[in-house]
Structure formats: structure tokens, C-alpha cells
Chain A
Amino acid sequence: MFVFAVIFAKISGFLLRLLGHGSDLPGRLALKIYPRLLSRFQVSGRIIAVTGSNGKTGTAGMIAGALRACGKSVQTNPIGSNMTGGIATVMCRAAKLSGKIDCDYLVLETDERYSRLIFADFKPDIMLVTNLFRDQITRNNNVDFIYSILDNVITPEVTLVANACDPISCRVGSTQKRVYFGCTAPQLLAGETGVFTQDCKVCPVCKHRLGYEKYIYNHIGVFRCEHCGFENPRADFVLESVDFAAKTAVINGNAVSCDSATAYGFMNLTAAAAVCVTAGEQPQAVYAALSSLKTNKTRLREFEINGRKGIMILSKNQNPVSFDLSISEVLRMEGKKTVVAYINNINHTDHRDTTWLWDIAFERLAGRAQMVCAGPRAYDLAVRLKYAGFADCDVKIARKNSEVKAAVEATEGRLCVLTELYDAATIMEAIK
């Protein structure tokens, strides 16, 4: 049945790819045919898993790209297909009928909640946890819930690469094999962030209030508990400085170019370097390889409509930290601007939840941008903006798609479209 499941996934995957689909379904069906499918593959190279709340896709892409640029053969899952079906699909596609996967590296972006299922029958050699935040309430419940899942997955045989600036995820797992990436770049460290979502106000060890000397964003920063001494672990890979304009960074004394010159982009770059070097690649080759990469720009796309310039900044759905980072990008732009935000119901459950809007610091935009509230929950966003201090004249409401174009035309400045991936096409069509 294993061979049949692999053949079925290969053929169905090929046919679905012709239609522009097929990154998840073939694997899901193969798992129905042979539930222990994932236990039967033998990977000749090393398996690298990339998980966490934010930054998985970008960092996994950097790792795979850098390893390829180092001359290694790499198999990886396409963007977004990071649940059990997606992992099964890529492994079936890469495998011979015997189950053997010949490659130097298998790089798997894995959904944090599904990690327990994905790694029930096999373990990665290296697992990168980018960070942990409150995220998609209807899927992930809370940070403790996800932490406990990853804690069970990261067993002693796994080498953990973790974020030394994240007081939550830096502690995860029972493995002693730990490599940390961190940041001392003064350009990224600030005394205040201006945001509300802070998932680690208390020390995760003793529960006393955790002190922060500096923040990078949200609860990512330089921390120390005065009660029990819990503090940032020593980082092996240190982001020492960044230059946003030049799109460069210095990691462990090495200059590296970074196509994604944002706070999280630079942190992802450092994480990718840590993973590639930990996997055994030569540091100089890794830094050169990372410098040569062009970032996948699907989450940051410039456009022009009717002579008006704009940029689309995609956020992870119902993820306030992701949205906060998008707002930070808007605030870095000069001149007048209008933010068009499309707010939908919860896409995978259709619940009317709007709690996450209250975790986003829209206050930072009040008086600095006009807003167009679009989508089924446009009025909920408008209410949120009212309490954030927006003047009525700076907020347009266009709940129906047919109302969006006129609302946008009544505003000024560069357009900044903030939405999630699934609604990107809808809002762009409505603006035209």
C-alpha cells in the first residue's frame, strides 16, 4: 500500500499541478491510503524543519535558497503547504518508489500546530523555531498550547535553532543540542515599541514581571528577570548591525546583503545563517549565498492604479504581530498615505471573531494616515479605529466591494493595502 500511495500522490500531484493546484491534496489522499506514510521514507541527507508563529515561509525560503547556492541538492515544500498533507505531497514527489529520497537537504516549513502530527513517525535533524506569538485564535488557542506541542516534538535527538531574543520559544524542547541566533544591532533595538501585544510580560520560569531593556518588536528583545535571573541565552549567531537603506547586515562580523530590509527580515536572515552553518555548511559560503538571494516578494508588492502608487503588505491572518509589523512598514514610508485594510471573517471557520483587531496598535497610524475599512467586518474595524483616536474624516467605510473604489478615490497619498493572503486578490480587484 505504501508504493500505491506514493504512485497515487505522484500522479495526482502531477495532474493537479497542471491546473495550478496540488501542493496539499495528493499528500492528504496518500495518507488516507497509507496512514503511516511519513514513517516509510528514508532521506539520504539532513532534514531541516522550520516552524514558529511568524517568519516560517520567508526563512525556509532563505535556507533552501542558500543551501542551493552552496551547491547542495534541496527538496522543499511550496509556500503555504506546511501541514501534514503538504509535507506528504513533497515527500512523495521527491521519493523513489522504494521510499528513498536522494537529496542533501530536505527543508520543510511546518505548521506549528501540525508539527506533532507531521513528526509523529520521523524527526528532523535540525528544527528552527523562529518565534512564538498569539496567533490565529481559532486554530492555535494560545501560546502555551503551541509551546507544549513543540516541546514534545523537540526531543533530545533534534538540534534546536532558536531565537535568543524570544523569552518564550528560547526555552522550548528537551534537547541539549541548542544553537541560538540573536540581535545586538542598535538600529533594531528600541526602548519602546508602541504596540500592545506582548505575550511575555511575566517571566516564563518564575512568573514575576519580566524586565525588558530593549525591544526589537513586541516581546522580541533584550530581557532579564530580576527575581530568578532568567535572561537571553548567549547567541551563537549575532545580528550586529543593519542598514535599512543599503539593505545590508553584519552577522558575526560578516557583511551580508538582505533583500528584505525589515526588522523581521533581518532576524530571518540571521536565523537562516544559523541553520545553514549548523547543518555543516562553511560560514563564508553561507553568508555569500544568503547575499545572493532575491526574496520572494509575494508579501510585499508594489503597484500603480490610475496613476496612484501603492504597495500591498500581506499579513498573516488573525495575527496581530504580523499586522503590527505591516503598520511599522507603513510608518517608515514618507509622505501622505492611505491604508486600505480588508477585514474578513475567520477564513477557515467563518466565525465573526474580531478580538484580534484589538491586539493591533492602530493608534500608531492615527493622525498619520487615512484609512479605508473594507470587507465583511469593515464596521468592526471602524469602531476599533474610533477608539484608537482616528478623526471621523480620516476613516472611510466600504463594506461592500462595490463601494471600495469610490472610498479609495476620496483619499490622498500613497496606497498601502493591508490584508491577508486569501483576500489579496479580492481587495485589489475592488480598488481598480
Chain B
Amino acid sequence: MKLLWLYDDLLDLYGDRGNPAALEYRLAEAGLEPVWDKKSVGDEIDFTQYSLVYIGPGLFSNLAVAAADLLNRREAVLAAINSGTPFLVIGNAPAMFMEGFTDAEGQFHQGLGLFAQKMSEGKKIIIHDIVMTEKGQSAPLCGFFNSTASVEGEVEDYLFDIKTADGKPDLRAEGQHINNFYGSSLLGPLLVRNPSLLHRFVDLAAGKSVEFDDGLEVTARDLIMNELGGKK
């Protein structure tokens, strides 16, 4: 099984490697022999070879370079998303799939335009512990937001309904979800902290339902949920 970690050199911040690490661990445990291909700017990429694509967060100065490269691959990337290839894109990386983003110097960088949104890099760090659910569902999930960026524009195909964000009432919806493309501004090991999401992506990559014991992860998640007020 081949998995694609796109721009691992440019986009690598704050524990996001927990997501590919967890996927590899669980897929290997299921005997599927996963191998991460790490590809970056200018590399030849055949998206049809991959069971899943992962892109993590990075410095905006690096994101601009990655975005320009991704734009050159627009048709292949959109074809992969339309064909149902699972994508997990977190932190500021979803900006590459929006109309684009403006960096701290005011320069605009064009995105793929898959979502009618724009991201802007600011100066102020915004931090939230977040309790959310997937759109229209009731099972609570937890996440961590820590960024100088903000998103303009709302999309119908969002991913999460925000329940609490350190008492900030202005946050309602977050992320992007179309076919098997999942984008979120949340940082770090999102899949590890939310075992139900890890199950989802393991199943998507495997193309079948994969059972595994997530008891320890659930205990850790429940403790955090109780402290944040989002009872399981």
C-alpha cells in the first residue's frame, strides 16, 4: 500500500507527524504493509498510485512555494479528489485548496480554487482548545487551533461544527469536506486525539473496515473532553 506525504520537507510543524505515524501503525498492524512516499516540489507524482494523500501545516513562507507547485499539478490533484482518493490536509495547508492566501507581507498566492475561501496570515496568535462534531453529527471531537491565520468565506462543504472554542462565540464552522477530501485548520495529531477519525482514514486507505483496539486513545480523549466540557 502506497501513501503519499506531500511536501514533507516544506510543511512540517508541531506534531502533525502524529497523523501519518498513526495511519502507518494501524495499517501495518492490519498487515497492509503501508509505505509513505515523500514527494515535494518538482517531483514526478502519479496520484493514481496512492491510497491516501497527507499534507501537513508549515511556515507561510514555505506554503507559498508548495502552493505554486501544487498549482502546476491542478488537473491531477482535482482528478484524484474527484475520483475519491482520500486527502487529509491540516493546519494552514487547506489554503492551497482555497482561492488562495495572503501572507504577512501582503502578497497573494493563488490556490486551486476548490473552495470559495481565502486565508490571510496575520500578526496575532490565536489559540483555542476546540470541541467540535462532524457536520450534522453528534459525537464530540477535540482539536487544537494555534495560528496567526484567519479564513474568509463560508462553504457549504465544511467539516466541523464548532461547539466550544475557549468561549469564543464567533467560531461556528470549520474545515472543508468534499468526496474524501478532508481539510481542517486544526493542528497536531488530529487523528490520534480522535480515534473515530483515525478509524475513518484507516478504512478509507484500506478500502475496507479495519478493526483495532483504540482503548488507550479513547481514555486519553475522554479525559480531555471532560476537562473541556464536551462530555463524550
Contacts and interface: CB of A to CB of B under 8 A. Distances in A.
A387 B22 CA distance: 7
A429 interface: no
Contact of A357 (B15, B65, B146): B15
Given A202-B62, A355-B14, A359-B14, A382 B144 contact: no
A260 B193 CA distance: 38
B14 A138 contact: no
Contacts of A384: 18
A259 B169 CA distance: 53
A144 B188 contact: no
Given A144-B59, A198-B12, A351-B129, A137 B217 contact: no
A230 interface: no
B151 interface: no
A349 to B, nearest CB: 7
Instruction: Please classify the interface of chain A as helix (H, G, I), strand (E, B), loop, or mixed, using the class held by over half of its residues.
Output: helix
Contacts of A399: 223
B155 interface: no
Given A143-B59, A144-B59, A144-B61, A355 B41 contact: no
Nearest to A139: B125
Interface residues of A, number: 35
B7 to A, nearest CB: 9
Interface in B128-175: 129, 142, 144, 146-148
A144 B60 contact: yes
A94 B62 CA distance: 45
B2 interface: no
Interface residues of B, number: 42
B129 A353 contact: yes
B15 A141 contact: no
A36 interface: no
**Interface hub of A139, A198, A208 (most chain B Cβ within 10 A):** A208
B20 to A, nearest CB: 10
A202 B223 CA distance: 38
6 contacts: A141-B147, A142-B59, A202-B9, A207-B41, A355-B15, A383-B216
Q: Considering the complex of A and B, which 9 residue pairs feature the smallest CB-CB distances, nearest first?
A: A355-B188, A355-B15, A358-B15, A358-B18, A379-B220, A201-B9, A355-B14, A207-B65, A144-B59
Given A355-B188, A384-B18, 8 more contacts: A134-B13, A138-B146, A141-B147, A198-B12, A201-B9, A355-B144, A379-B223, A382-B216
